[in-house]
């Protein structure tokens, strides 16, 4: 098996601002930890340096007037009617180079897509991607350009069937919206319920429209959901859905903001539940484009994506984090000394409630959504 890790230190040239939750340094920390564990020296691994996407790639999904606004905002100050495109102080700040940043993060996703689609290898990981909230003509939820959509569109154009699985704490609304009416792409999002978390969508009855009916799947989890309920729900529906859909490529958004100590969300996972889900993905995703996503505790992000990369490469990691990594990482706010052991959430008292709610959601998906996919995949071409 051959895998690709896509990265560049150039990411560090960009900054959402000192008080913004999305800290670009988390990418560097992840890269450093992966490197310190020797996970870029494996014979099966190719390191790919990120190259910017071309402007025409972005135009395959985003509107020309929105892209013009982003190009203007690249200078770092507000211009014209940027507010009406979701830009401005708050979630989607205007910072110097934001358009170049978007070209880079999207470029890395396209490099991952090409690597897998052209058969150079089976798995590629872009930790800077997974910006799943961006809409066709609007920035949203820290996302300016929707790299998962642009990557998936490229795969679809070459005739591939794509299953997109999103385990970020926030609903993958931008990706769902882009493919809501097609049966070429199956989108599955597991997230904290829209009743308590941005963007307020992703309920189980959002199942797609027209040709796409049955090809959007949502598992909204109550706040407080822990490893056990989350990974159980994943195992109950995701492998079966993917098996019924028979994708050529699986694209995943691997947000780490589901953890109990993430500052923005209310789920209650630990790195162990995350690992369980990753191992399942590896089982059913022989060709896999993996993208990053949310994650606002930088120590969680570095650990979880390092572990994810180890799972992708079939390597078991030493529980003690390498000293060479810790020496530098503590200076930029990294906490803890172990890979998994010191990241244990307190017991959640909402678990029983989550279990009951998710049993209802799973019954709905098995009764309503799954038969649609199964029925269609059995019909003659
Ligand atoms: Zn998120």
- From the first residue on, what is the mean pLDDT of each consecutive set of 10 residues in the chain (381 residues)? 98 96 97 98 98 97 97 88 92 96 98 98 98 98 98 97 98 98 98 98 98 98 95 98 97 97 96 97 96 98 98 98 97 94 66 93 96 70 42
Bridge partners of 226, per DSSP, are 268
Q: How far is the CA of 198 from the centre of ligand 1 (A)?
A: 9
Q: How far is the CA of 97 from the centre of ligand 1 (A)?
A: 23
Q: How far is the CA of 293 from the centre of ligand 1 (A)?
A: 6
Q: Which tokens is 220 given? A: 């909204």
Please work out, in degrees rounded to the nearest 5, the angle formed at the alpha carbon of residue 17 by the alpha carbons of 133 and 138: 25
User: Count H helices, E strands: the chain?
Assistant: 12, 8
Residue 20 catalytic? no
Q: What is the pLDDT of residue 361?
A: 98
Helical H segments across the chain, by residue range: 25-36, 55-59, 64-73, 98-117, 147-157, 173-178, 227-245, 271-284, 298-312, 323-329, 351-364, 370-378
Task: Tell me if residue 114 falls in helix, strand or coil.
Answer: helix
State the CB neighbour count (10 A cutoff) for residue 113: 27
For the purposes of burial, counting CB atoms within 10 Å of the CB of 267, is it exposed (0-12), middle (13-18) or buried (19 or more)?
Answer: buried
Q: What is the DSSP letter of 97?
A: T
- Using a CB cutoff of 5 Å, list residues around ligand 1, an ion: 168-170, 255, 257, 294
Residue 321 to residue 33: CA distance in whole angstroms: 8
Q: How far is the CA of 175 from the centre of ligand 1 (A)?
A: 13
186-195: b (≥16 Cβ within 10 Å) or e = bbbbbbbbbe
Please work out, in degrees rounded to the nearest 5, the angle formed at the alpha carbon of residue 379 by the alpha carbons of 376 and 380: 140
Q: Phi, psi at residue 5, to the nearest 5°?
A: -115, 125
Residue 129 to residue 127: CA distance in whole angstroms: 6
Q: How far is the CA of 141 from the centre of ligand 1 (A)?
A: 8
State the CB neighbour count (10 A cutoff) for residue 209: 12
Element (H, E) at 191: strand 185-192
Reported pTM: 0.96
Task: Tell me if residue 351 falls in helix, strand or coil.
Answer: helix
The catalytic residue among 62, 132, 133, 171 is 133
Cβ atoms of 274 and 295 closer than 8 Å: no
Helical H segments across 4-59, by residue range: 25-36, 55-59
Q: How far is the CA of 277 from the centre of ligand 1 (A)?
A: 17
Helical H segments across 246-350, by residue range: 271-284, 298-312, 323-329
Q: How far is the CA of 253 from the centre of ligand 1 (A)?
A: 10
State the CB neighbour count (10 A cutoff) for residue 261: 15
Q: How far is the CA of 124 from the centre of ligand 1 (A)?
A: 21
Q: How far is the CA of 139 from the centre of ligand 1 (A)?
A: 15
Q: What is the dihedral of CA 373, 285, 305, 180, to 10 degrees?
A: -30
Q: What is the pLDDT of residue 213?
A: 97
Task: Tell me if residue 165 falls in helix, strand or coil.
Answer: strand
């Amino acid at each position: 098996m051959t895998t690709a890790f896509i990265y560049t230190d150039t990411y560090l040239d960009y900054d959402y601002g000192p008080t913004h939750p999305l800290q670009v340094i988390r990418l560097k920390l992840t890269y450093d930890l992966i490197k310190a564990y020797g996970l870029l020296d494996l014979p099966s691994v190719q390191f790919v340096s990120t190259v910017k996407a071309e402007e025409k790639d972005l135009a395959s999904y985003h509107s020309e007037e929105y892209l013009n606004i982003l190009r203007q905002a690249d200078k770092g100050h507000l211009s014209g009617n940027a507010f009406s495109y979701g830009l401005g102080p708050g979630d989607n700040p205007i910072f110097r180079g934001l358009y170049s940043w978007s070209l880079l993060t999207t470029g890395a996703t396209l490099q991952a897509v090409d690597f897998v689609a052209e058969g150079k290898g089976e798995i590629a990981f872009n930790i800077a991607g997974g910006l799943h909230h961006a809409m066709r003509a609007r920035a949203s939820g820290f996302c300016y350009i929707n790299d998962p959509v642009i990557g998936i569109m490229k795969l679809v154009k070459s005739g591939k069937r794509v299953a997109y699985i999103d385990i970020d704490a926030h609903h993958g609304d931008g990706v769902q919206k882009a493919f809501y009416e097609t049966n070429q792409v199956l989108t599955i999002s597991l997230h904290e319920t829209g009743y308590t978390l941005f963007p307020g969508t992703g309920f189980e009855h959002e199942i797609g429209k027209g040709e796409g009916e049955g090809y959007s799947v949502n598992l909204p989890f109550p706040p407080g959901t822990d490893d056990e309920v989350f990974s159980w729900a994943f195992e109950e529906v995701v492998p079966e859905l993917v098996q019924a859909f028979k994708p050529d490529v699986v694209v995943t958004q691997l947000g780490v903001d589901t953890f109990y100590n993430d500052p923005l969300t209310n789920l209650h996972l630990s790195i162990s539940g995350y690992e369980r889900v990753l191992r399942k993905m590896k089982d059913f995703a022989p060709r896999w484009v993996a993208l990053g996503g949310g994650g606002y505790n930088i120590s969680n992000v570095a650990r979880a994506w390092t572990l994810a990369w180890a799972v992708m490469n079939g390597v078991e990691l030493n529980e003690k984090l390498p000293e060479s990594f810790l020496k530098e990482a503590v200076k930029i706010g990294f906490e803890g000394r172990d890979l998994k052991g010191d990241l244990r959430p307190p017991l959640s008292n909402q678990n029983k409630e989550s279990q009951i709610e998710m049993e209802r959601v799973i019954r709905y998906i098995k009764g309503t959504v799954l038969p649609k996919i199964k029925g269609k995949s059995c019909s003659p071409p």
